[in-house]
Amino acid sequence: MNPYHDYENYLKEYPTPDGRFGEYGGAYLPPELEVAFAEIDEAYETICHSAQFISELRRIRKDFQGRPTPIYHCERLSRQLGQCQIYVKREDLNHTGAHKLNHCMGEGLLAKYMGKKKLIAETGAGQHGVALATAAAYFGMECDIYMGEVDIAKQAPNVTRMKMLGARVIPVSTGLKTLKEAVDAAFEGYMKEYKTAIYCIGSALGPHPFPKIVRDFQLIVGQEAREQFVSMTGMLPDAVCACVGGGSNSIGMFLPFVADPVELIGVEPMGRGSKAGDHAATITYGSKGILHGFDSLLLQDEKGAPLPVYSIASGLDYPGVGPEHAFLHDSGRVHYTYVTDEEAVEAFFLLSRMEGIIPALESSHGLAGGIQYAKEHKTGSILVNLSGRGDKDVDYIEEHYGCGDEFLAKHHI
């Protein structure tokens, strides 16, 4: 039974004005930042309804990002697996190669309307940093990206890209020198200059209003895909599927289908297996808690400290998840499943070889979920959000898995 009957109503009802999706969401902030977040919330609620903002965002999406991105029927792949038809939404064709630019351009435009001069964020693998640095260059703004020293060493090409785009990459040397410390440092930096700068989060999470802002900017993905699918096939898909890290590409893809008779499937990274520290399957194994200023499900120890997480896809290894996903899980509207590193790599090779599209490892998780569905359902259709392209992953894959011949032999390819 679908508890939601109307997409527009759903968007109005969730989140509540204080940022709640049922028992999840909210904002737990240091007092110094309450003013800054209230300012962003108020500005967003006003500006996002202005005709000028809407038309400027539409123009950016078309002329700069290259939207709409197409959907594509994977005929060879579908035939290889059986009768169920697999379609992909090509977010990999978005400028900079992933869906992240959808919310970064929106956040940059909001900053411009608020009169801000600088964009501030943290980055883990560097994907969010590159997308935000792109937005900053477009709007002629300064950009400070906080990044752990360990990640800086591991992600040299993205560090170079950010610098070429004009961003300042600020190394963070505290603690484990990775994403968590970078988040803390970015917040500290933001606290010092919130009058002239704005903090731009990288996924549909964090304290209110960020889960809502990022979701709203990502809805374009599902809105386009729904229309395109209906005009291509004359029907709705039977299922829609996407990978879930923090939850931005999936929430944008899912919600325009929320009131439809369409199964929604979120795919989490099961990494090397189900032992703590070997995966980042937050909804599958998590429990209720607070991390980075909001209520959600998270992977935590008995004392409430976040557990270490792992995935072959660095964009998916976060111990929490956006609050709206925790909510949609509890309400039963979205079904959350998982795939392992191995299954994601197999999907990576299958799409490359059968369709000529090399997907990001994150997106390969969504695709592997779609492949599982296609194997279990002898008819029907599934639409997968291909959140990004795999150029960034090919060196790692080649070094650890070769070029796919072994994986593909299993399928007699």
Interaction site with ligand PLP (CB under 6 A): 98, 100, 127, 203, 243-250, 315-316, 360, 362-363, 387-388
Cα angle, residue 299 at apex, residues 124 and 373 outer, rounded to 5°: 85
Quote the least distance from Cβ 327 to ligand PLP, whole Å.
16
Return d(Cα 19, Cα 88) in angstroms, integer: 32
Using CB positions, name the residue nearest to ligand PLP. Answer: 388
| Helix 210-233, helix 323-330: angle, nearest 10 | 60
Under the phi-then-psi rule, with left for phi > 0, alpha for psi from -120 to 50, and beta for the rest, what region is 57? alpha
Quote the least distance from Cβ 323 to ligand PLP, whole Å.
13
Active-site residue 99, yes or no? yes
Quote the least distance from Cβ 103 to ligand PLP, whole Å.
9
Return d(Cα 144, Cα 133) in angstroms, integer: 8
Nearer residue to ligand PLP within complex by CB, 194 or 203:
203
What is Dmax (Cα atoms) for the chain? Answer: 60
Nearer residue to ligand PLP within complex by CB, 134 or 250:
250
The catalytically annotated residue of 99, 208, 329, 365 is: 99
Nearer residue to ligand PLP within complex by CB, 209 or 245:
245
The catalytically annotated residue of 5, 49, 73, 74 is: 74
Nearer residue to ligand PLP within complex by CB, 84 or 97:
97
Return d(Cα 343, Cα 369) in angstroms, integer: 9
State which amino acid sits at residue 233. T
Quote the least distance from Cβ 126 to ligand PLP, whole Å.
10
Return d(Cα 22, Cα 411) in angstroms, integer: 44
Question: Is 290 in a helix, a strand, or coil?
Answer: strand
Quote the least distance from Cβ 234 to ligand PLP, whole Å.
29
Active-site residue 74, yes or no? yes
Question: Is 310 in a helix, a strand, or coil?
Answer: coil
Nearer residue to ligand PLP within complex by CB, 78 or 314:
314
Which residues are designated catalytic?
A: 74, 99
